[in-house]
Amino acid sequence: MKTVKNYFLLVAVLFFVSINNTNAQGKEYVPLLKLNNGLEMPQLGIGTFAISYEQAKEACLEAFSKGFRHVDCATAYRVEGAVGEAMKESGIPREEFFITSKLWVSDYADGKTLASIDTILKRFQTDYIDLLYIHQPIGDYVNAWKEMEKAVASGKVRALGISNFDASKERFHAIVDHMKIKPVALQIECHPYAQRNDIREWVKPYDIVIECWYPLGHGDAGLLSDPAIKTIADAHGKSIAQIILRWHTQEGFSVIPGATNPVHIKENISIFDFELSDEEMTTMRSLNKDKRFFNVTLEQLDSWADR
């Protein structure tokens, strides 16, 4: 009798596993990063920079079907509405998503910041933003931060971050040392050819996550055909892009590659089924050239303040 019971128990377990595997088919696992305010953020997200409204919507829908839940956006990208439409059409509960956006400098002025946040919420068709960044360290960014803190207090924003503050150490410290709410993340250009070791030292005392844009070097042909990375890729049966993204995650970064091609979207999220060895990580670290692809001085950034 006991044998029969065990048999039926085994059948039930196998059936349950089968159903869950079927439901999870095509959806990849993405680890979570614990932020310094206690929130958890998916380590990998999809970026929406420099694509059309329709491309953003279709890319997000495709990404959601593959397991992405973290989307990086910005008011300046003009696709927040597309992301909101994709979220709604996906049928996925809002609480599963981690949605970020960035305020542009025109939203920093007194009286504009909170109104701009309300506009972003309407575009996303949601009542809160998971993470809101200051896009550039220019204009009245201190005032903007203080207004953003009010949005956190009212529940409209869950966490605050800074973007491109690597342009000025003084302005970085103006936020991290003097504001009530500390940034949970710093968005900067970062990839194997520009590993930003100096900026990584800046954020360490504050437990700030570095989130990397241009993680594939803005499509740089040299990086995407680098022979050292190709050797590692061949050893794992992965693409060079996958090795680069895996390097980012093993360094502890958050990473937000953009993609509109369904093949690339699937490839970008399929990076957690293998690990780079210590030797391979050493090889990747040796590729640093401090070679950035977005080279704008602080003076040039300041000139954008009136735009």
Residues annotated as catalytic (active site), given as ranges: 77
Separation of alpha carbons 147 and 142, rounded Å: 9
Answer yes or no: is 135 a known binding residue: yes
Report yes or no: 126 and 99 within 8 Å, Cβ to Cβ: yes
Separation of alpha carbons 195 and 192, rounded Å: 5
Separation of alpha carbons 131 and 163, rounded Å: 12
Cβ within 8 Å of residue 271, ≥6 positions away: 44, 238, 242, 245, 246, 249
Separation of alpha carbons 248 and 287, rounded Å: 13
CA 70 to chain centre: 6
Closest CA to 38 of 172, 209, 180: 209
Kindly report the backbone phi and psi dihedral angles of residue 122, in degrees, each rounded to the nearest multiple of 5, phi listed first.
-65, -40
Read off the tokens for 88.
């709604």
Kindly report the backbone phi and psi dihedral angles of residue 163, in degrees, each rounded to the nearest multiple of 5, phi listed first.
-125, 135
Closest CA to 215 of 252, 257, 187, 254: 257
Separation of alpha carbons 140 and 145, rounded Å: 9
Strands 40-42 and 46-47, by their bridges, are unpaired
Kindly report the backbone phi and psi dihedral angles of residue 298, in degrees, each rounded to the nearest multiple of 5, phi listed first.
-60, -35
| Known binding residues | 135
| Known binding residues for substrate | 135
